Amino acid sequence: MSVDTLTAADPIRLEVALGERAYPILIGAGLLERAGEWIAPLLKGRRRVVVITDTNVGPLHLPRLTAGLAAAGVSVDTVTVPAGEGSKSWAGIADLVDRLLDLRVDRGTLLLALGGGVIGDLVGFAAAITMRGVDFVQIPTTLLAQVDSSVGGKTGINTKAGKNLVGSFHQPRLVLADMDCIATLPPRQLRAGYAEIVKHTVLGDAAMFAWLEAGGGAALLAGDRAALAKAVRHSCETKATIVAADEREGGQRALLNLGHTFGHALEAETGFSDTLLHGEAVAIGMVQALDLSVRLGLCPAADKARLVAHLVACGLPVDQQACGGPFDPATLVAHMRLDKKAKAGELTFVLCTGLGSAIVRDGVPESDVLPVLSEAH
C-alpha cells in the first residue's frame, strides 16, 4: 500500500508484540488531524494531555495535532523545549520534569512526544521517571524518529561521559507516524534519518538493501511517498520484530547498534552538536564497522565498497574528515570503552558478515580497531 492511497482511516498498522505492554505503530498520512481517534481511548475518561515539542516542530505541526485532539474533546497543555541535541541533557531533563510538575501532572496524565528523536528520547525518559512512571505516546516528525527512535522504548539523555549513558527502557502506548511531517524536514535531516534505514537493511535484509541501491533510496530522498512508505514500514517491522524478541538488549537487540560504537564516539568527540548529526555518525560508523569486519575476515571487501558507494550517492558522510576529523584514535577508543555494550572495559562491536547479516562480537582487541580509526574511505 502506498502512502498516496492511504488516508487517516486506513493507516498501515504494525504491532510491537510485548505482551501486556504491546502497542501499535500507525503509519500514514493525515494522522495528526485525526489523532484524537487513537489517543482519546488511552485517556481513561480524562480530557487533557500534555504535548512536549521543540521550537522548530511546534510552529509547523502542533496546530494540526491540537485540532485533531480537540475534535475528540481532548484539550492540550504544551511544553516547548529548545530544538537540538543539547536538550537531551541533565539540564534538559531537569527543566522538562520541573515544567511538567508545575503543570500539576499526575499518574494518569498522558504525555505526547511531538518531534524527532531528541524529543522522543527526552520525553520518554521524563515519562519513565515522573511520578515513577506515566504513559506516553510517540508522534515522530523526523524520518529518523519514524524509522527508528519512536519504536522500542529506549529513552535517555547524553552526559559528559558519553551518548545515552543515562536512561531507561520505557515503552510508549502508541506510535503515530504521520508522513505529512516529513514534507517540512530539511534535506540534511532527511538524509540523516535515511542512514538508519540503510542500517536496518545492512544488518538484516540484503534484498531491501539492493532495492534502496537500485533507486528506492534515491526516490525516497527525492520525496516519493510510495518509496518512503515502503522504507518506513520495512524499518518499523525490522525493529519491532527484534525488540519483541529482546526488549532489554540481552542478545539480538544489540544488532540495532550497528555503526553506533564508532558513531557515538564521534558524536562525543564533536560535542553532540550540529557538526555531526546522529544519523551522519551512524553512516560513518557503519562504514567503519564494515571496514573492521573486512579486516577480521568476516565480510567481503566488495560489500563494504557497495555500502560506501551507496551512502556517498545519497549525500551521506563516510569518514571522519567530514566532521572535522580525523580524531585521535586513542581518544575515540576511550569513548568506546564507555559504550553500554562494553564488558569489563573490553570492546564489543556489531560486525557485518555480508550485506544483510550481522553478528555481535565481544572482546575485539584494540589493535584491530586502531587501523580502522586512521582510515579514510
Binding site for Zn(2+), residues?
A: 196, 260, 278
| 36: its cell numbers | 484524537
Calculate Rg over the CA atoms of the chain: 20
Q: Which span sits near ligand LNCXM5UN by CB under 6 A: 83-91, 169-177, 207-215, 253-261?
A: 253-261
User: Residue 40 Cβ, how far from ligand LNCXM5UN at the closest point, in Å?
Assistant: 29
Q: Is 54 in the site for ligand NAD (CB under 6 A)?
A: yes
Grid coordinates given for 271: 560535542
Please name the residue ranges forming H helices in 18-89. 35-39, 57-70
57 binds, among ligand LNCXM5UN, ligand NAD, none (CB under 5 to 8 A by kind): ligand NAD
Q: Please check whether residue 67 is in contact with residue 100, taking contact to mean a CB–CB distance below 8 angstroms.
A: no
Annotated binding-site residue numbers: 117-121, 141-142, 154, 163, 181-184, 196, 260, 278
Residue closer to ligand LNCXM5UN by CB (options 39, 287) is 287
Note the residue count of the chain: 377
Candidates 106-114, 134-142, 254-262, 288-296: pick the segment binding ligand LNCXM5UN (CB under 6 A): 254-262
User: Could you say which of 61, 64, 230, 278 is catalytic?
Assistant: 278
Q: State the distance between the two ends of the chain, measured CA to CA, in whole angstroms.
A: 38
Asked if residue 260 binds ligand LNCXM5UN (CB under 6 A), the reply is yes
Instruction: Decide the pairing of beta strands 358-364 and 347-352.
Output: antiparallel
Closest CA to 280 of 255, 251, 317: 317
At closest approach, how far in Å is the CB of 145 from ligand NAD? 5
Q: Any catalytic annotation for residue 248?
A: no
**Residues 185-204 vs ligand LNCXM5UN: string with x where CB under 6 A?**
-----------x--------
Residues 6+ apart with CB under 8 A from 58: 78, 80, 114
Q: Which of 66, 109, 138, 149 binds ligand NAD (CB under 6 A)?
A: 149
The binding site for NAD(+) comprises 117-121, 141-142, 154, 163, 181-184
**310 catalytically annotated:** no
Residue 163 or 173: which CB sits closer to ligand LNCXM5UN? Answer: 163
Q: Is 158 an active-site residue?
A: no
In terms of Cα–Cα distance, which of 273, 125, 263, 295 is closest to 196? 263
CA angle in degrees (0–180, nearest 5) for 310-313-315: 115
119 near ligand NAD, judged by CB under 6 A = yes
> Which of the choices ligand NAD, ligand LNCXM5UN, none does residue 119 contact, using the CB cut-off of 5 to 8 A by kind?
ligand NAD
Determine the Cα–Cα distance for residues 145 and 148; give it in Å rounded to an integer: 5
Buried b (16+ CB within 10 A) or exposed e, 294-330: bbeebbbeebbebbbebbeebebbbbbebbebebeee
Active-site annotation holder among 85, 196, 213, 247: 196
The DSSP string of 218-248 is HHHHTT-HHHHHHHHHHHHHHHHHHHHH-TT
244 near ligand NAD (CB under 6 A):
no
**Is the preceding peptide bond at 326 cis, omega within 30 degrees of 0?**
yes
Instruction: Give the number of other Cβ atoms within 10 Å of residue 102's Cβ.
Output: 9
Q: Of the two residues 170 and 260, which places its CB atom closer to ligand LNCXM5UN in the complex?
A: 260
Answer for the pair 263, 278: CB distance below 8 angstroms, yes or no: yes
Residue 145 interacts, among ligand NAD, ligand LNCXM5UN, none and using kind-specific CB cut-offs from 5 to 8 Å, with ligand NAD
Q: Does 340 bind ligand LNCXM5UN (CB under 6 A)?
A: yes
Provide the binding-site residues for ligand LNCXM5UN, judged by CB under 6 A: 148, 152, 154, 164, 196, 253, 256-257, 260, 340
Provide the binding-site residues for ligand NAD, judged by CB under 6 A: 54, 56-57, 60, 83-85, 88, 115-119, 121, 141-142, 144-145, 148-149, 152, 154, 164, 181, 184-185, 189, 192, 277-279
Catalytic positions: 132, 154, 196, 239, 249, 253, 257, 260, 264, 278
